[in-house]
Amino acid sequence: MVGLTYDDVLLLPQATNVIPSEVDTSSRLTRKISLRTPLISAAMDTVTESRMAIAMARQGGIGIIHRNLSPEDQAQQVRQVKRSESGMVQDPVTVGPEATISQLDELCGKYRVSGLPVVEDGKLLGIITNRDLRFIPEEEFPTKTVRETMTPMPLVTAPANVSKPEAARLLAKHKIEKLPLIDDDGRLSGLITVKDFVKTQQYPNASKDAHGRLLVGAGVGYLSESWDRALLLADAGVDVLVVDSANGEAKLALDMIRRMRGDSAFDDVQIIGGNVATQSGAQALIDAGADAVKVGVGPGSICTTRVVAGVGVPQITAIYEASKACGPAGVPLIADGGLQYSGDIGKALVAGADTVMLGSLLAGCDETPGDLVFVNGKQYKHYRGMGSLGAMSSRGKRSYSKDRYFQSDVTSDDKIIPEGIEGQVPFCGVLGSVLYELVGGLHQTMFYSGATTIPELKERGRFVRMTSAGLRESHPHDVQMTVEAPNYGGR
Ligand code: RVP
């Protein structure tokens, strides 16, 4: 078998009357979930925590929260995404009347909210927001209570079944930012905020669940302790769980998917299995009950599996082979790792993928975890493989991701066999502008291919294989680049 990857192929230009800005990039993430933007941010500790997941979902994609965190912290990250914006917060964070302003401040910081309903024994007593705190000196925060400071009932409220237009009317009429919803006994049953209305208009493509909350995924392992982690995440409202393994065909990983699929706790959760790189690997995941199959063994920019273990399949061939199992079964395929340019997205889709997962292309964004690093006056962000020594070693805190590489029994850091490296990528600003370039590139692919939808692109796309001279010709050549383009060389 010959193994080809992104740099080995190009898509043939075709007759077209498609206008790039009018194409529809919606595609299936799993059996039950579709995304308007077929992009996923990788479950890596230098790529996806709640901030990134929120930004991805707002743009119509989805983020998978990494699992190099305690189960509680990971579930907390999921909750932050689910609470970040929605038509209505069903289970709002609240504060008790006897809490101090310092405690309130901590809660608001933790949940990234600007104010909270004040509740005692389920009953709404009042509301406390930035407005109430504006004239309180900071020295008084540790002693002043919420009861002394809040705006008490009667407040403008609405019943739980209030319609969206009516809620918007009440917010506007009373010039308020938060509308608590209460039942006949005055018990708090939800909260609508003006911010949510603004966000809905600002991000019309956002990926949302039936309650208007942003979609989010999270990675889990397959060892016995992963079961409790998965239950915690399901309880936190996660939409998608990715059973995350460097060899998705390993019996333990398949058993985990089978067990989850057979348990009603995961009825509302879509399960992604991976990673595999062959038809039989994809078939094994489908047979175990996976709702999507993730493909990629060794293509990642930070991955050394192919040289350390000598194992892997170049990514275009891996996608094509796996799609032979996924296509007939109607199970979506995720192409994970190895994408360097926007043009690789269309290549992955034509090879058989439905969505793509990105690490290095997003790691330089403002929304990723970690601070900016300055090197010779240029700005960078750290980016490391989950199989790197740094991610798998304890270094003072526990690593939760060693089992991705089947090394969870390794107790000392000098016995780890890394399958990834640690590095940095240029800082590239906010995710919104990076995705604008990536999705814009996909629009162009669709124009050249004469496709107005992703299924049409998958159907119509045809490859030509290149030589190394063809690849050299594809990139700028024989000219010294003086200005970096935002989607080439400037990242
Ligand atoms: P890339 O987008 O090329 O940076 O690749 C990201 C992908 O690489 C991840 O989604 C994951 O599948 C894989 N990965 C993460 N860590 C490692 C490793 O340490 N080998 N590989």
- For the domain spanning 101-193, the CATH number is 3.10.580.10
Residues linked to residue 372 through DSSP beta bridges, in sequence order: 381
Whether the complex's predicted ipTM surpasses the cut of 0.90: yes
Mark whether 108 is an active-site residue.
no
| Residues 48, 39: Cα–Cα separation, whole Å | 13
**Using 50, 70 and 90 to split pLDDT, how confident is the model at 166?**
confident
- Residue 409: count other Cβ atoms within 10 Å of its Cβ: 9
Residues linked to residue 40 through DSSP beta bridges, in sequence order: 62, 357
Catalytic residue among 303, 326, 365, 428: 303
Burial of residue 283, with CB atoms counted within 10 A of its CB: 0-12 exposed, 13-18 middle, 19 or more buried: buried
| Residues 56, 400: Cα–Cα separation, whole Å | 24
Which of 3.30.70.240, 3.20.20.70, 3.30.1360.20, 3.40.50.300 would CATH assign to domain 6-84+207-474? 3.20.20.70
Mark whether 229 is an active-site residue.
no
Please state the φ and ψ torsions of residue 381, each to the nearest 5 degrees: -130, 145
Is the pLDDT confidence value at 487 over 80?
Answer: yes
Minimum mean pLDDT range among 15-29, 185-199, 394-408, 468-482: 394-408
Q: Is 297 annotated as a binding residue?
A: yes
* 373-417 pLDDT per residue, tens: 999 999 999 999 999 988 988 655 667 777 887 877 776 777 788
**Using 50, 70 and 90 to split pLDDT, how confident is the model at 293?**
very high
| Residues 120, 243: Cα–Cα separation, whole Å | 40
Average pLDDT over residues 60-69: 96
**Using 50, 70 and 90 to split pLDDT, how confident is the model at 491?**
very low
Average pLDDT over residues 338-366: 98
Specify the domain boundaries for CATH 3.10.580.10 within the chain. 101-193
- Residue 308: count other Cβ atoms within 10 Å of its Cβ: 15
Instruction: Tell me the CA–centroid distance for residue 124 and ligand 1, in Å.
Output: 47
Specify the domain boundaries for CATH 3.20.20.70 within the chain. 6-84+207-474
Minimum mean pLDDT range among 119-128, 353-362, 395-404: 395-404
Instruction: Tell me the CA–centroid distance for residue 354 and ligand 1, in Å.
Output: 18
CA angle 409, 47, 20 (to 5 degrees): 135
Instruction: Tell me the CA–centroid distance for residue 103 and ligand 1, in Å.
Output: 39
Closest CA to 189 of 160, 158, 152: 160
Output the residue whose Cα is nearest ligand 1's atom 8: 300
Q: Is 473 annotated as a binding residue?
A: yes
Average pLDDT over residues 218-243: 95
